Amino acid sequence: MLPKYKDIVDLLKKGSTIEAQEKIMSLREGALDLQEENQDLKEQIKKLQSEMSLKNSVVYDNACYWLEDNEGRDGPFCQRCFDVDKMLVRLQGGHNELWECKECDKEFCGKNHVVPSLNIPIRY
């Protein structure tokens, strides 16, 4: 617990300057600790605000996530990486609406994906 200003004043009035100096040093240390804690809390708030902003601009559509804003849509991003790790990992590929995540090695098929036929002749 931090020393109170009144206690320091009382010590000075009694002539206990060494004890008063010790209380002042304790008060300074406490102030520094509070400044560090305050800075940490500000960083946590900033991070949470950023996460909330991201969450509000991410849209799940067609098995993937997309970033949407007034200018349009960006993506697609991996559904698994965002749901599990809160990371936006851009999917690769896209030919025939088949996307691959290089981070988690998952594949995603869009709603217009067509499974290619093999055209292998059957021999009897």
What are the domain boundaries of the chain? 5-51, 62-109
Residue range 7-22: mean pLDDT, rounded:
85
Give residue-wise pLDDT tens across range 76-108: 999 999 999 889 999 998 778 888 999 999 988
CA distances to 76, 99, 119 from 87, in Å? 13, 17, 40
Give residue-wise pLDDT tens across range 53-81: 878 889 988 788 999 888 888 989 999 99
Q: First and final CA of the chain: distance in angstroms?
A: 89
pTM: 0.57
| Residues 103, 78 contacting (CB under 8 angstroms) | yes
Give residue-wise pLDDT tens across range 15-44: 888 888 888 888 899 999 999 999 999 999
pLDDT band of residue 123 (cuts 50, 70, 90) is low
Backbone angles phi, psi at 94, to 5 degrees: 105, -15
